[in-house]
């Protein structure tokens, strides 16, 4: 068997197999098959495939890896340990002994505890092992996978055990949908890549594990709250006793010297000061002031809780301590500490300046580090003040946006969204594009940049249309993903907790919504050259008029398009990293397309191109004309063409090194590849004729 093959395909009829092969010989060779194969596929039950079946689709329709079902009560994993495959017990059900043995060997290599048998229900009823997952084939003679899944879900004890169904013959979408309807967690079509199988199992069980831990934590928290409630009632009863209240006031009065003064302490201190005065009639104003303060403090709902105001205003207290006190013990809505889970910005006084820089290195920061920078961008243009945006809602909006980007995507993730936002922010500030726009335009642009790829699945529009996905059916094959991103943007904004647009009047909201939708739709590469042509025609025919909505919208669309593919004009180190990431997504999609029988674009096919060729062609045929027009519009941006030219030379140098066999690992970064190419002319890219002075806004 060729160990270079990505899949092992078993399509012989099981009956024919038994007539030709001795079963003992087959079982003896299974271990060798698993060891010599980097990726395994189990195709069917060794039954003849149905002639009416279409090409197998490697998609898995799941009820979501974040299923709300709790961890199986049969799990033997103790929660003082983290999730580990070695602590997981999986029951494999398949009527074909060869398939069971292959799957058992594969799972054991990932350190799972595997138990198999044709009669899965009997294994469950024996109760000798507490199973964490049932992995069952659909087509079995005694009881098929769907009936087994239903039976498990209806059982009072076993209904907590998740079930994944698999099939090499029943591969249509109906089977996947039926799996979800009957309570199955996932449906996998054979062939199954073993790394995908491991990821599916780990994601499912890890999610269930985490939710069980969360439930336990919530239970502990509820108990603590109950104890606190009981204590509060006891305190209230004691407060009705005059002698006890007097004693407490005496005790609490000593705390008034502390920096953290509670409302109750303040009341005690004011009363004592009044009792010590003998000439009240001479200090009527002071008396009224103190009594007013007493009434105000008594009206507080948290008379035992310090306000921490003195500490927060004290510059000698470090930011980490302030954050801890306010987020853990206070109900304060102080602007920087109002959202307990919102990350704090890294300590850097120059943060608002360096996020304007074109060479901003996004890969030096974590995603938590990046989120506060978005707040700085809004503040720099006074958007919070102008549009009455509460800082708490902006923070919640940013966190909601962050949560909808898929971390599993190599390219289309939150880091890319931030990169596009920072790029456009740089255009607005360092390259003076803001002079052509209004504050409402800038608000629309920042929102659109942050949200332009929300919930991107990692597969492009062509894949959605060819697979007839739910999204393609919803949006009639037209700008499928872009329409989806725009819809999610306003779905977030409709949430009152995240609605940063509540301060806009009706006309402002309508204009912003129209603008944001157009901005996100402009990122559809299907209309790329149309946008360039229209923008170039406007540049050559007349100046942009800041007083015209349509002119400003055209500028906005052009800026977000430049931001969306800005990596081509970034410094070489950043350009290289982004190119690796996007090509990873291309190659992943092409593999799925091959298995599904969909058309595969040559530039995504790893057997027909290279990462360097993709990057070079993208500059030549997609990015160059766009940035030439940008340089004509914003003269300060002409320097970006020089950076792009150097990047193009570097990619050409790598192409030449690959031809000479000197660069075999296309993931290896070379700082100056042009120095390694001898007697090779690396011509610069053609630059447009750029005006000497920028266009002035009317």
Per the CB < 8 A criterion, the answer to whether 160 and 171 are in contact is no
User: Under DSSP, is residue 582 helix (H, G, I), strand (E, B) or coil?
Assistant: helix
Per the CB < 8 A criterion, the answer to whether 162 and 209 are in contact is no
Q: Which residue numbers belong to the known binding site? A: 416, 452-453, 564
Short-list 337, 313, 315, CA closest to 326: 337
User: Under DSSP, is residue 4 helix (H, G, I), strand (E, B) or coil?
Assistant: coil
Q: For residue 358, what are its two tokens?
A: 């074109």
Per the CB < 8 A criterion, the answer to whether 118 and 142 are in contact is yes
Short-list 595, 590, 622, CA closest to 606: 590
- 402, 412, 456, 484: the active-site residue: 412
Peptide bond into 697 cis (omega under 30): no
Distance in angstroms (rounded) separating the CA atoms of residues 564 and 569: 11
User: Under DSSP, is residue 586 helix (H, G, I), strand (E, B) or coil?
Assistant: helix
Per the CB < 8 A criterion, the answer to whether 93 and 145 are in contact is yes
Residue in the block written with tokens 């191109």: 609
Neighbours of 262 (CB within 10 A): 20
Is residue 484 part of the annotated active site? The answer reads no
Short-list 277, 295, 297, 299, CA closest to 286: 277
Phi, psi of 164 (to 5 degrees): -115, 125
Distance in angstroms (rounded) separating the CA atoms of residues 77 and 89: 10
**What are the residues whose beta carbons fall under 8 Å from the beta carbon of 575, sequence distance 6 or more?**
567, 568, 569, 615, 647
User: Under DSSP, is residue 188 helix (H, G, I), strand (E, B) or coil?
Assistant: strand
Q: What is the largest CA-CA distance in the chain?
A: 115
Q: How far is CA 618 from CA 605, 615, 687, in A?
A: 15, 5, 16
Neighbours of 49 (CB within 10 A): 14
User: Under DSSP, is residue 534 helix (H, G, I), strand (E, B) or coil?
Assistant: helix
**What are the residues whose beta carbons fall under 8 Å from the beta carbon of 57, sequence distance 6 or more?**
171, 173, 189, 467, 595, 596
Q: Which residue numbers belong to the known binding site for Zn(2+)? A: 416, 452-453, 564
Neighbours of 68 (CB within 10 A): 9
Residue in the block written with tokens 């920061």: 365
Distance in angstroms (rounded) separating the CA atoms of residues 152 and 163: 8
Per the CB < 8 A criterion, the answer to whether 45 and 107 are in contact is no
Per the CB < 8 A criterion, the answer to whether 207 and 84 are in contact is no
User: Under DSSP, is residue 256 helix (H, G, I), strand (E, B) or coil?
Assistant: helix
Residue 164's DSSP bridge partners are 135, 186
Neighbours of 440 (CB within 10 A): 19
Residue in the block written with tokens 């992943």: 588
Q: Degrees (nearest 5) of the Cα angle 195, 200, 205?
A: 130
Give every strand in the sheet of 89-93, ordered side by side: 113-117, 89-93, 133-137, 163-167, 186-189
Catalytic residues, by residue number, are 412
């Amino acid at each position: 068997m060729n160990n270079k093959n990505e899949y092992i395909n078993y399509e012989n009829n099981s009956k024919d197999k038994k007539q030709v092969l001795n079963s003992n010989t087959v079982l003896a060779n299974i271990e060798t098959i698993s060891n010599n194969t980097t990726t395994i596929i189990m195709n069917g039950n060794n039954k003849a495939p149905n002639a009416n079946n279409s090409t197998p689709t490697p998609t898995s329709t799941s009820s979501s890896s974040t299923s709300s079902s709790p961890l199986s009560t049969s799990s033997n994993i103790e929660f003082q340990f983290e999730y580990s495959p070695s602590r997981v017990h999986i029951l494999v059900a398949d009527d074909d002994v060869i398939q069971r043995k292959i799957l058992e060997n594969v799972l054991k290599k990932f350190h799972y505890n595997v138990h198999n048998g044709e009669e899965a229900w009997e294994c469950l009823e024996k109760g000798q092992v507490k199973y964490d997952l049932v992995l069952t084939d659909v087509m079995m003679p005694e009881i098929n996978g769907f009936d087994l899944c239903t039976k498990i879900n209806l059982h009072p004890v076993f209904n907590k055990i998740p079930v994944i169904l698999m099939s090499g013959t029943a591969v249509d979408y109906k089977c996947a949908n039926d799996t979800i309807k009957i309570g199955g967690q996932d449906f996998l079509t054979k062939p199954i890549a073993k790394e995908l199988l491991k990821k599916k199992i780990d994601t499912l069980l890890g999610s269930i594990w985490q939710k069980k831990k969360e439930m336990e934590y919530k239970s502990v928290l509820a108990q603590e709250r109950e104890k606190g409630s009981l204590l509060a009632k006891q305190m209230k009863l004691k407060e009705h006793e005059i002698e006890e209240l007097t004693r407490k006031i005496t005790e609490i009065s000593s705390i008034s010297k502390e920096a953290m003064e509670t409302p109750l302490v303040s009341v005690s201190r004011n009363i004592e000061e009044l009792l010590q005065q003998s000439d009240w009639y001479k200090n009527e104003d002071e008396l009224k002031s103190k009594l007013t303060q007493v009434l105000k403090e008594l009206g507080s709902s948290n008379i035992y809780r310090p306000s921490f105001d003195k500490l927060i205003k004290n510059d000698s207290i470090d930011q980490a301590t302030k954050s801890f006190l306010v987020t853990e013990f206070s109900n304060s809505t102080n602007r920087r500490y109002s959202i307990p889970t919102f990350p704090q910005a890294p300590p850097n006084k120059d943060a608002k300046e360096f996020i304007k820089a074109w060479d901003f290195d996004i890969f030096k920061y974590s995603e938590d580090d990046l989120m506060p920078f978005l707040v700085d961008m809004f503040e720099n243009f006074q958007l919070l003040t102008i549009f009455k945006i509460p800082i708490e809602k902006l923070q919640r909006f940013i966190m909601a946006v962050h949560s909808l980007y898929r971390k599993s995507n190599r390219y289309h993730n939150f880091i890319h969204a931030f990169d596009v936002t920072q790029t456009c922010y740089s255009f607005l500030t360092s390259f003076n594009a803001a002079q052509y726009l209004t504050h409402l335009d800038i608000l629309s642009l920042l929102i659109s940049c942050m949200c332009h790829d929300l919930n991107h699945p990692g597969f492009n529009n062509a894949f959605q249309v060819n697979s007839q996905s739910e999204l393609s059916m919803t949006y009639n094959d037209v700008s499928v993903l872009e329409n989806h991103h725009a819809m999610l943007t306003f779905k977030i904004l409709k949430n009152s907790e995240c609605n940063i647009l509540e301060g806009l009047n009706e006309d402002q909201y309508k204009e912003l919504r129209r603008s944001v939708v157009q901005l996100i739709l402009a990122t559809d590469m299907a209309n790329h050259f149309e946008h360039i042509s229209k923008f170039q025609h406007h540049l050559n025919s007349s100046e942009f008029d800041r007083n015209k909505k349509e002119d400003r919208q055209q500028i906005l669309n052009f800026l977000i398009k430049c931001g969306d593919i800005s990596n081509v004009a970034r410094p070489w180190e950043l350009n290289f990293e982004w190119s690796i990431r996007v090509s990873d997504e291309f190659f992943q999609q092409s593999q799925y397309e091959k298995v599904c029988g969909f058309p595969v674009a040559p530039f995504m096919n790893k057997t027909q191109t290279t990462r360097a060729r993709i990057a070079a062609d993208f500059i030549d045929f997609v990015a160059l004309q766009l940035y030439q027009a940008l340089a004509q519009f914003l003269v300060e941006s002409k320097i970006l063409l020089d950076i792009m030219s150097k990047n193009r030379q570097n990619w050409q140098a790598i192409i030449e090194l690959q031809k000479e066999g000197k660069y075999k690992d296309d993931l290896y970064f070379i700082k100056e590849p042009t120095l390694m190419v001898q007697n090779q002319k690396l011509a610069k890219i053609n630059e447009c004729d750029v005006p000497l002075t920028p266009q002035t806004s009317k």
